[in-house]
């Protein structure tokens, strides 16, 4: 294996910059389980302010943030409505069932987007055949939906439906920063339709660790208890909270570069025979593309690219995911496109293959 040159597998692979590490070194810290870490407190206030909520809580991961979010709204035997490919249902080990005793009630969306008419199929009466549906969870941007931004008015309708039915609402906003930067709508505008919102610092923002859960002060007080029993109470956590604070200052606006690079990657891939992708569907920094079966499987192409130092993630038999982030520049995108092109050359039906140089 050559050294890894370009890692497109996820936006979680970024490493803290020298300036971020310096901010971590200088962090003023205390015991956060005793509520005495000034840097964690400052981060939580900043996140609450950005999201327009009364309070926020720093937690080790997005998975824990979602787990606590659901726990705040539901008891064992309840259920939450969600889109069937969402992270909570698909990628969190069924944790909300395992730990919270809360079932998911998944509905299949289009690219991760639900329509309000679909919600009418959810059980409404106190019929003992069904779990009690208490919560609607949405994800923005939607990871398996291809980094899709929830269309705003549609999202407002979904949340209004939930409120009319006295359901609570939780937003998995791991990449809500990307939606805010891409649309120009503030984080608070996106967040105001939800009771609780989870955001991640460890994705596109480039911090090494951490997520936050924001919501009403009484719920966040309760969330402190849940975090503790899950093992998420941390001591001098200001060391990592400082990285998140640094990221909020310096790494939010630059997400626009990731989006431009993702579009550049999609445009380049689109021109390669055997690859299917619609560049106009790339809303943010996640790029999913399909391979013709006679060209290559996703595993095979990912393996061949990996040998050349370009890492992408196989995500289904014919699907590859490539993600742009802090450590990927436009020239890296061009190099990745060229490498993919070389690896597939001559394989697609109708592709003339390598040019003969005289």
Ligand X SMILES: *Cc1c(COP(=O)(O)O)cnc(C)c1O
- Is residue 140 a contact residue for ligand X (CB under 6 A)? no
Distance of closest approach, residue 263 Cβ to ligand X, in angstroms: 20
Length, in residues, of the chain: 358
State the binding string over 50-69 for ligand X (x if CB under 6 A, else -): -----------xxx--x---
Distance of closest approach, residue 335 Cβ to ligand X, in angstroms: 26
Q: Looking only at residues 20 through 39 of this chain, which bind ligand X when binding is defined by CB under 6 A?
A: none
Q: How far is it, in rounded angstroms, from Cα 127 to Cα 93?
A: 28
Which one, of 252, 80, 248, lies nearest residue 172 by Cα?
80
Query: Closest CB to ligand X belongs to which residue?
Result: 62
Distance of closest approach, residue 154 Cβ to ligand X, in angstroms: 18
Distance of closest approach, residue 177 Cβ to ligand X, in angstroms: 12
Binding-site member from 143, 150, 318, 339 for ligand X (CB under 6 A):
143
Which one, of 268, 266, 288, 311, lies nearest residue 145 by Cα?
288
Distance of closest approach, residue 326 Cβ to ligand X, in angstroms: 16
- Is residue 11 a contact residue for ligand X (CB under 6 A)? no
Q: What's the N-to-C CA distance of the chain in angstroms?
A: 32
Residue span binding ligand X (CB under 6 A) among the ranges 42-50, 199-207, 232-240, 323-331: 199-207
Helix ranges restricted to H, the chain: 18-25, 38-51, 62-73, 87-90, 95-98, 152-164, 176-183, 187-191, 217-229, 238-250, 255-270, 298-307, 330-344
In sequence order, what are the residues at sequence separation of 6 or more whose Cβ sits closer than 8 angstroms to the Cβ of residue 352?
346
- Is residue 213 a contact residue for ligand X (CB under 6 A)? no
- Given 3-state DSSP classes, what are the helix, strand and coil percentages for the chain, each rounded to the nearest 5? 40, 20, 40
Which one, of 152, 105, 150, 97, lies nearest residue 130 by Cα?
105
Q: How far is it, in rounded angstroms, from Cα 147 to Cα 202?
A: 16
Nearer to ligand X, 143 or 314 (CB): 143
Residue with tokens 């969600």: 82
Binding-site member from 200, 219, 311, 348 for ligand X (CB under 6 A):
200
Q: Looking only at residues 222 through 261 of this chain, which bind ligand X when binding is defined by CB under 6 A?
A: none
Distance of closest approach, residue 140 Cβ to ligand X, in angstroms: 9
Distance of closest approach, residue 24 Cβ to ligand X, in angstroms: 18
* DSSP 3-state of 82: strand
Binding-site member from 211, 284, 314, 318 for ligand X (CB under 6 A):
211
Nearer to ligand X, 63 or 339 (CB): 63
Nearer to ligand X, 103 or 205 (CB): 205
Give the footprint of ligand X on this chain (CB under 6 A). Answer: 61-63, 66, 87, 139, 143, 172, 174, 200, 202-203, 211
């Amino acid at each position: 294996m050559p050294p890894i040159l370009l890692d497109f597998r996820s936006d979680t692979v970024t490493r803290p910059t020298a300036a971020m590490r310096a901010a971590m070194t200088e962090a003023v810290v205390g015991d956060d389980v005793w509520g005495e870490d000034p840097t964690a407190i400052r981060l939580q206030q900043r996140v609450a302010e950005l999201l327009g909520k009364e309070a926020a809580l720093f937690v080790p991961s997005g998975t824990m943030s979602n787990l606590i979010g659901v726990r705040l709204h539901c008891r064992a035997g309840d259920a939450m409505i969600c889109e069937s490919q969402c992270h909570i249902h698909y990628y969190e080990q069924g944790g909300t069932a395992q730990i919270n005793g809360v079932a998911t009630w998944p509905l299949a969306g289009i690219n991760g987007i639900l329509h309000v008419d679909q919600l009418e199929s959810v059980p409404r009466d106190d019929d003992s055949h069904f779990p009690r549906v208490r919560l609607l969870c949405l994800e923005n941007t939607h990871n398996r939906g291809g980094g899709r931004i929830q269309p705003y008015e549609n999202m407002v309708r979904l949340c209004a439906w939930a409120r009319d039915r006295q359901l609570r609402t939780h937003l998995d906003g791991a990449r809500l920063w990307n939606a805010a930067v891409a649309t120009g709508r503030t984080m608070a505008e996106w967040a105001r339709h939800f009771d609780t919102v989870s955001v991640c610092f460890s994705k596109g923002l480039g911090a090494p660790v951490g997520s936050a859960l924001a919501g009403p002060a009484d719920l966040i007080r309760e969330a402190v208890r849940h975090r503790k029993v899950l093992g998420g109470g941390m001591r001098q956590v200001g060391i990592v909270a400082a990285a998140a604070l640094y990221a909020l200052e310096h790494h939010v606006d630059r997400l626009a570069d990731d989006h431009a690079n993702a579009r550049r990657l999609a445009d380049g891939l689109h021109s390669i025979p055997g690859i299917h992708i619609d560049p106009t569907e790339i809303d943010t920094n996640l790029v999913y593309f399909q391979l013709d079966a006679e060209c290559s499987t996703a595993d095979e192409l990912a393996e061949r690219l990996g040998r050349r130092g370009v890492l992408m993630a196989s995500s289904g038999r014919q699907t590859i995911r490539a993600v742009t982030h802090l450590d990927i520049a436009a020239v890296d995108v061009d190099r990745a496109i060229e490498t993919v092109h070389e690896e597939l050359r001559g394989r697609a039906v109708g592709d003339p293959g390598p040019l003969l140089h005289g």
